Structures are given as C-alpha cells and as structure tokens.
Amino acid sequence: MVEGSPKVVVVVPTYNERENLPVLAGMLTDLAVPNLHLLVVDDGSPDGTGEVAEKLAADSGGTVGVLHRTVKDGLGRAYLAGMARALDEGADIVIQMDADLSHPASAIPEMLRTLQDGETAVVIGSRYVPGGSTASEWPWHRKALSAWANFYVNAILGLGVRDATAGFKAWRASTLRAIDLPSVRSNGYSFQVEMNYRVIKRGLTIREVPIRFEERIEGMSKMSLGVQVESALAPWKLRFDRDDRDDRS
C-alpha cells in the first residue's frame, strides 16, 4: 500500500469461474496500481470457485477479500452486495468488472486517470467510442443485437452514453452513495442501465474510455432469455416510474 493513495476495490461477481478467477487476479496484480484490492462475490459456485477465491485471499496479504452469498439471485444483486461491502470497508473508488476475462484489466489505469477529473462521477470501459471494439469472434447478429440494445436504451432514456449496457466501470465512492444503492431494483444486465440512469438523473457526469471487449475463454455465458426480456422492459419501467420522475432528479 502506498501512503495517501486512494483505496481502489475491484468487485468481481463469480459463478463457476474457477479457471478464470486466478488469471484475472494475476492480471490485476501485474497492474501495480497502488492500494488496489480485489473483492470476489461468489454465489455459491458448485465448481469450487469460492474455495479458489479463499485460497487467493489467504495468499494475498490482505489485498483479496471474498464475499460468499448463499442465494444466486442475479448479477445486479451480486454487484450491489459487493459495492456495499467495498464502501463499508473504506473504498474510495469501486471498479466493477466481469470474471470471464472479457473486460481488459489493462484499461484500469486509464479509467482511474479519467476519474481524477473532478467533474467525472463514473468512467465506463466502452466498446463503442472511437478506439473501442468487440471481439472478432462475435457473430454479426450478436454485434447487431448489442448495437441495437444501446440505441434502444438511449432512445428511451436519453442517457447520451455510447455503451449504455457496459458492465466495466470505475465509480467514485461518493457517486455510489449519491445514487442510493439499496433502492436499485433492476437485476441482470438491466442493472447497468439503471445505474447509468441514476447518475444522469442527478446531473452527474459519465465519461467513456475505449476498450476491446473479448469473448470469454472458459465457462459458459450467463445470458438467458429471461435476462434479455428483463433488459428490454427495464428502460420503460425507469422512464415511467413516478419515483424516478419525482424523487430522483
């Protein structure tokens, strides 16, 4: 730990990611970012991911923590639990990223530099700003669906964010407190949209830095039909929710 460096906590939800988690932990260590911590939020993975995380924590000298959850109730709930724990433990900056190696850890230093601008509330690792890209392995229909989802969300909510569904973000702790985490209702991938919406509704600034989004290497995608349906309905629920219109401006 470097004296005076902000505490940065990377929150990583896991479910059956035992192959990827040690690789990700090594990538984060190699960044040599001062006062960087990893918090693994495991939803009772039957493949032993939780045990792998505990071993990483035991060998880390205090820079890796593990939050075990007994109920697998969605990506959004896991992120909220991890963010709450990170804030309780004194995080100044909270980074959210996936465990499947699709988010490049190498982008974290640039995200942190961008967040140093006092007007920036959250930084998104974005596929859709100049310099960003998606995995070449993605079929055309998956790229089209992703592009349409971002157009759809922005058309309904007016976020002004190129990659509104992205899950790789660096948050100021003050931003997370301002958007009232306990009242976030969305789950799955629509969680990302609601979090952005809350930032914009409070007049706070989102910035994006380019990343290359990679296809997962090990394990299986968590995207289900139910998640897709929820994601399609979420922007309308946010737009027409009276509490959001009246109380969150």
Query: How much is the pLDDT for 66?
Result: 98
The arithmetic mean of pLDDT across residues 48-61, rounded, is 97
What does the pLDDT read at residue 7?
Answer: 98
- Higher pLDDT residue, 223 or 231? 231
The per-residue pLDDT for 158 is 79
CA distances from 202 to 1, 121, 179, 180, 195 (A): 33, 10, 8, 11, 11
pLDDT single digits (tens) 178-204: 999 999 988 877 889 999 999 999 999
The domain limits of the chain are: 8-247
What superfamily in CATH does domain 8-247 come from?
Answer: Spore Coat Polysaccharide Biosynthesis Protein SpsA; Chain A (3.90.550.10)
Give the tokens for residue 243.
């509490």
Confidence of residue 228 (pLDDT cuts 50, 70, 90): low
- pLDDT over 80 at 83, yes or no: yes
> For 26-161, where are the E strands, in sequence order?
36-42, 64-68, 93-96, 120-126, 133-134
Q: Are 79 and 41 in contact (CB under 8 A)?
A: yes
- pLDDT of res. 1: 41
